[in-house]
Chain A
Amino acid sequence: MNRAHIWLVAFLLAAWGFAASAAPAAGARISGGQFDPVLPPAPNVKTTVVAPYRLDVALVSNADFAVFVRKHPEWRRDRVAGLFADEGYLRHWASDAGPGPAIARQPVTQVSWFAASAYCEARGARLPRWYEWEFAAAASATQPDARDDPVWRQDILDWYSKSARGGLPAVGASPANYFGIRDLHGVVWEWVEDAGAMLVSDDSREQGDPNRNRFCGSGALSLEQKENYAMMMRIAMLSSMKASYSSNSMGFRCASDAGTGP
């Protein structure tokens, strides 16, 4: 191997390293299938079919989001349109251009649904749909659907009962589940593409209320599997957020149809 070769190899390695650190982790392929979600497809329908999809292994980090914002400055916090983001948008970043080194590897939070959608779209991807998220999140380390496992369920609930206001862990730091996906539980809430499709009532308004027309069509959905508190809390959180809202506990990851995108 002569000197030129060594330089070439060094260059390629550096380029690869750069690409690997700049590009978000590629998604894992999940075959999907029949699924009984907590949020039923319709009032009298319990089962849905999840088509094959790809889901990011880890959450999007502040560093990832900063790369996007540099390329698409209309999403900087000092330039973003008020329609798309509230006052809290990226408020925790060190500057308008970036997060600063301390939180670079942490999951990005304080992003609106509009911003999260635009990020995924710029990658040729999209936000995961709720059923895709719930399908992936039903897995433990060893089973694709661990929702009937009381130990696993308790582990998840323990996170929700902790008031962890400390710093967030780095993205991808939690153990991979059956599908190879990390960070689904115990880190942050996550935006989904159909966050505006939850149509969950707070129960009181639908029962004998003359103003039932709040939802045209079949009315509000009532949740199944009421013992699955963790999922219900996710759904409650999502249905309480408008698309321009941001929260210090709401992040996201991207997904795509299997066979395309990242």
Chain B
Amino acid sequence: MTLRAPLLALFAAFASLALPAHAADRSASLYQMHEKLLNQDGKAIDIDVYRGKPVLVTMFYGSCPATCPLIIDTLRAVERKLDEPQRQELRVLLVSLDAERDTPEALRQVADSRRVDTTRWTLAHADAAAVRRIAAALNIQYRQLPDGQFSHSTIISALDGEGKILTQSAELGHADPELLRVVNAR
């Protein structure tokens, strides 16, 4: 007998059990947290550095061999599909999961090698406790592996000017139409 079926049932049971408790809508903004970050130039910033603008926010790590470059490509794919005024308005915040190695200097290198426009994009360092809280707020799961790499879910959140999470996308490699819709709707 395989154990997969009962396990699946178990996970499904918990997933459905956990959902109804939070059904009521409660206004939540990412900017209700007051996390301090350092940008790629070593400047101290707050997590609401782009308050007032539409923002795409996600997490990554600089030494990631495969998927993290893909995250940047995906964010760019979204930008390319926007109309020019929306593109000019949009801001991108990438917070590193790797509190140890992604110093501002390391992030500046990533920004330069990927030719990131840091007038509209920010690559940010946060300390380990802040990384945990920010990932929790963005519903990003991550885990540091014994070899120092990170395994993590890739969720891009679209925020409005007040930090409210409008939608979250787990799609990689192309511009998720739902992300485009909420950013273009402004």
Interface residues of B in 6-40 (CB under 8 A from A): 7-8, 10-12, 14-15, 17-18, 21-24, 26-30, 32-33
Known interface pairs A88-B22, A204-B8, A247-B21; A41-B151 also in contact (CB < 8 Å): no
Tell me if B135 counts as interface (CB < 8 A to partner A). Answer: yes
Tell me if A3 counts as interface (CB < 8 A to partner B). Answer: no
Contact B147 A42 (CB under 8 A): yes
Q: What chain B residues lie within 8 Å of A216 (beta carbons)?
A: 64, 66-68, 71, 150-154
Name B residues whose Cβ lies closer than 8 Å to a Cβ of A. Answer: 3-4, 7-8, 10-12, 14-15, 17-18, 21-24, 26-30, 32-33, 64, 66-68, 70-71, 129, 132-133, 135-137, 139-143, 145-147, 149-154, 170, 172-173
- Most A-side CB within 10 Å, residue of B14, B21, B24: B21
A31, chain B: closest CB distance, angstroms: 21
Interface segment, A12-20, A63-71, A139-147, A229-237? Answer: A229-237
Contact A246 B30 (CB under 8 A): no
Q: What chain A residues lie within 8 Å of B135 (beta carbons)?
A: 196
A-B contact pairs, 29 of them (CB 8 A): A45-B146, A83-B32, A88-B22, A113-B136, A114-B136, A121-B129, A196-B140, A196-B142, A197-B141, A197-B142, A199-B142, A203-B8, A213-B70, A216-B67, A216-B154, A217-B149, A217-B151, A218-B149, A219-B151, A226-B7, A236-B10, A236-B14, A239-B11, A239-B14, A239-B141, A240-B15, A242-B136, A244-B136, A246-B21
Tell me if A241 counts as interface (CB < 8 A to partner B). Answer: yes
B90, chain A: closest CB distance, angstroms: 22
A77, chain B: closest CB distance, angstroms: 11
**Majority secondary structure, A binding face:** loop
Q: What chain B residues lie within 8 Å of A193 (beta carbons)?
A: 132
Q: What chain A residues lie within 8 Å of B153 (beta carbons)?
A: 199, 214-216
Q: What chain A residues lie within 8 Å of B4 (beta carbons)?
A: 203
Tell me if A170 counts as interface (CB < 8 A to partner B). Answer: no
Contact A218 B145 (CB under 8 A): yes
Tell me if A84 counts as interface (CB < 8 A to partner B). Answer: yes
Interface residues of A in 77-91 (CB under 8 A from B): 81-84, 86-88
Name A residues whose Cβ lies closer than 8 Å to a Cβ of B. Answer: 41-42, 45, 48, 81-84, 86-88, 113-114, 117, 121, 193-200, 202-204, 213-219, 223, 226, 232-233, 236-237, 239-247
A101, chain B: closest CB distance, angstroms: 26
CA distance A213 to B151 in the complex (A): 10
Known: A88-B22, A117-B132; 11 extra A-B contacts, CB below 8 A, are: A87-B23, A196-B132, A198-B141, A202-B12, A204-B8, A216-B153, A217-B145, A217-B151, A236-B11, A242-B136, A247-B18
Contact B22 A87 (CB under 8 A): yes
Contact A196 B141 (CB under 8 A): yes
Q: What chain B residues lie within 8 Å of A223 (beta carbons)?
A: 7
Q: Which residue of B lies closest to A198 (CB)?
A: B141
Contact A196 B136 (CB under 8 A): yes
Q: What chain B residues lie within 8 Å of A81 (beta carbons)?
A: 28-29, 32-33
Q: What chain B residues lie within 8 Å of A42 (beta carbons)?
A: 145-147, 151
Q: What chain A residues lie within 8 Å of B17 (beta carbons)?
A: 240
Contact B15 A217 (CB under 8 A): no
Contact A41 B145 (CB under 8 A): yes
Contact A243 B137 (CB under 8 A): yes
Contact A194 B29 (CB under 8 A): no
Contact A87 B137 (CB under 8 A): no
Contact A213 B67 (CB under 8 A): yes
